[in-house]
Chains A and B, each alone.
Chain A
Amino acid sequence: MNTPHRLPSTQMNTRLAATQQPSASSIQSKEVQPQRSQDVQEIQTFYEENLALIYRYIYSKVGNRQEAEDLTSQTFIKALRGVDYTRGSQSIQKWLFQVARTTVADYWRQYYRVSISSLEELLDAGWEGPVEQEAVPMSVMPAEKAQRILQALPERDKEVLTCRFLLNLSVKETAVRMGLTEANVKVLQHRALKHAADIAQV
């Protein structure tokens, strides 16, 4: 009798090429349902164009994979119910980001448990305020936003944030690299993040 071995959990991170997808032809060729095949195509396109953007945006708000996946799923599922494909894709995208924003805000509300009575409190709860003018607001491109902030920071702040986040170094590794104590690093990262927050507000 075969002893099944457990598939190692690292396989969760194995990159699968996107081949496990439903064949478009096997779904579309239901001749009595032209609406379905058109919908499927539109959903596929809508999804492919926006999944990574929405995921990255949500990740930049929650900071971890599991919640990013959960909230991304919720966003798309909600969005799909109300999407109007006759609108231009730019307009759909803007609306999709609004759904993402409220999904994240609803979720955060649980953790902050503040009574949302003022705009200030809303902002603190993660909501992002009135929709920006640009088609895809810069704030939804987290990598670019982070870079802009970094470039505007003093050298040491920039270095500690680069080490801790972009290079993903531990406190110890960062301390060695920057010639500081570990306690110093903890203080410095706090200060750097505070400066970053100040810049981000502007």
Chain B
Amino acid sequence: MTGEDQERFEDYLELERYIEELRAGRVAHPPTHLTPDQARIYRMVALFRSAAPGVAEPRPEFAEALRTRLLNQNDQSLEEADTLKLPPLEGADTLEVPQAETHITSEKRPEVSPASTPPKQPKPRRVTFFSRRALLTGGAITAASIVAGTTAAAVDLAVRPDKLPDYPTRLAIGSNVATTWLSVTTVAELGKNAVPFGNDKLKGYVIYDDDNNEIIAMSAACTHMGCIVQWQEKERQFHCPCHNGVFTEYGKPAPTASSVRYLTPLPRLETKVEDGKISVKVPS
């Protein structure tokens, strides 16, 4: 084989390697020192690959995660320009809300009226808190009565204008979407680990929150790009295989060495406990 032929043969192999990497669903880049003619050939690979049916369609989880991110970003930038002055809140992670129990029923509403400042308590307690928006709209939280012992927490993004929310956010299911209560496990069987659940519409985890003494459920879709996070028993955290995002056992973003920053918490889902059976409200 002449030198020229050898070179060409290597071109074919290198190109084939690139094609195979992409076909395997991996990230791949053309070799860096290509001539303009060679570079054009590699660009054709990406073009033809994207033309295969169904390949270049955004994943629903990705689409949702990005949508949420854009809306959060918009909220943040609006807050910066906001003239509405909200009362200063004490405590980094606690919101002082007058309530004796950790469950939400409609009787509690008057105590947490949206127009009033959360009154200062003599000593702050970690309690769950309400979305002012949801209260204003009579949204999902007050619409359902949740049996004692479980709570779904929600947060008003306007409360923390200078930061991304790092406390739980409710996953809002569209009002015209049919939902059902999905039975996940029982109180007796729920140990210390997160229990996965899901249907073809939604995947999530149930876990016992021993700090707040409640059973919580959250979406398993990473708030970065929507990949399904994995529960790690030993580390007691959720790990996202796509970009190494990490969430605490309560779905709160945990600082990691990965490049994923500004994660928002895994959204919470409504749960209920009836006769010791734990169920989660999911789109049906």
Contacts and interface: CB of A to CB of B under 8 A. Distances in A.
Report whether chain A binds chain B.
yes
Interface stretch (B55-63, B122-130, B144-152, B160-168): B55-63
Interface in B179-211: 185, 189-196, 198, 200-203, 205
Interface in B1-50: 11-13, 15-16, 19, 22-23, 25-30, 32, 34, 36-37, 39-41, 43-50
A26 B156 CA distance: 11
A63 B21 CA distance: 10
A52 B66 CA distance: 12
A33 B69 CA distance: 19
B84 interface: yes
B231 A6 contact: yes
Interface string B117-139: 00000000000000111101101
B47 A145 contact: yes
Contacts of A40: 71, 74
B105 interface: no
B159 interface: no
A26 B43 contact: no
B73 interface: yes
Nearest to B204: A7
Interface residues of B, number: 97
Contacts of A164: 19, 48
A147 B177 contact: no
Contacts of B112: none
Interface string A25-52: 1110111110110011001100100011
B48 A80 contact: no
B233 interface: yes
B196 A5 contact: yes
Given A6-B230, A186-B13, A18 B71 contact: no
A139 to B, nearest CB: 10
Contacts of A73: 66, 69, 225
Given A23-B174, A25-B137, A166-B48, A68 B56 contact: yes
Is the contact region of chain A dominated by helix, strand, or loop, or is it mixed? helix
Given A66-B242, A193-B15, A20 B73 contact: no
B60 A51 contact: no
A15 B221 CA distance: 13
A27 B58 contact: no
B5 to A, nearest CB: 11
Contact of B139 (A23, A35, A81, A143): A23
Nearest to A46: B70
26 contacts: A4-B193, A4-B205, A11-B203, A12-B242, A15-B200, A23-B173, A26-B131, A26-B133, A55-B56, A55-B57, A59-B56, A60-B51, A63-B22, A65-B25, A66-B242, A73-B69, A120-B36, A126-B43, A143-B50, A143-B51, A164-B48, A166-B52, A186-B13, A189-B15, A193-B44, A197-B37
Given A16-B60, A22-B172, 6 more contacts: A20-B219, A44-B67, A47-B70, A59-B49, A67-B27, A164-B48
Interface of A: 1-7, 9, 11-27, 29-33, 35-36, 39-40, 43-44, 47, 51-52, 55-56, 59-70, 72-73, 76-77, 80-81, 111-113, 120, 123-124, 126, 142-143, 145-147, 149, 161, 164-168, 170-171, 186-187, 189-190, 193-194, 196-197, 200-201
Minimum-distance CB pairs A-B, first 6: A63-B46, A1-B191, A146-B51, A197-B40, A60-B50, A165-B48
